[in-house]
A = this chain, B = another copy of it.
Amino acid sequence: MDEINEAIKKFQKELNGGTSALVLLGVLDKATSPMYGYQIAKLIEAQTEDVDIMKQGALYPVLRSLEATGLLESEVEPSVAGPPRRYYKITESGRQTLAKWIEIWQQTRELVDAVLQGGSHD
C-alpha cells in the first residue's frame, strides 16, 4: 500500500502545483478590491468540500511567487485588531497571463476528461 499512498500524494502535489496559482489568480481577477491571504483562503474554502485541496498555509508561498513574477502586487496595511495585513491585487501582466492559463487549463481538462470517459480500446 505504501507505493500507492506515495503515488497519490505525489499526484496531489503536482496537480496543486499548477492549479493553485491558477485558482489564486482567478480569485484576485474577480476581486473588486485587494484581498489578504486569510480572506482568499476562506473564499476558496467556500467553493470546495475537500479542505485538503488547498490548505491555507500553502497559499502564502504561491502568493509570494506570483508577486515575484509580476502577476500580483501587494501592499501592507495596518488592521484594526491584530498585525498588519498584506493585501494582494492582480496586475495587467497577471490578467494577460490568466487568460492564457485558462486556455491551457481548458485544453488539458478536455483531454483528461476525454481519456477518462472514453471506452475501452487497444
Does more than half of chain A's interface fall in helix, strand or loop, or is it mixed?
helix
* Cβ contacts A11-26/B at 8 Å (1 or 0 each): 1101111110111001
Range class of the A interface residue count: 35 or more
Known interface pairs A4-B100, A109-B109, A111-B23; A122-B33 also in contact (CB < 8 Å):
yes
Known interface pairs A22-B112, A47-B115; A69-B104 also in contact (CB < 8 Å):
no
Candidates B71, B101, B110, B118; contact of A30 at CB < 8 Å? B118
Q: How many copies does the complex hold?
A: 2
CA distance in complex: A16, B97 (Å): 17
CA distance in complex: A23, B110 (Å): 11
Cβ contacts A to B, 24 pairs, < 8 Å: A4-B97, A8-B101, A11-B22, A11-B104, A12-B104, A14-B17, A14-B18, A15-B15, A15-B18, A15-B19, A17-B17, A17-B18, A19-B108, A23-B111, A26-B112, A26-B116, A30-B119, A31-B122, A33-B122, A43-B121, A48-B107, A53-B111, A54-B111, A109-B113
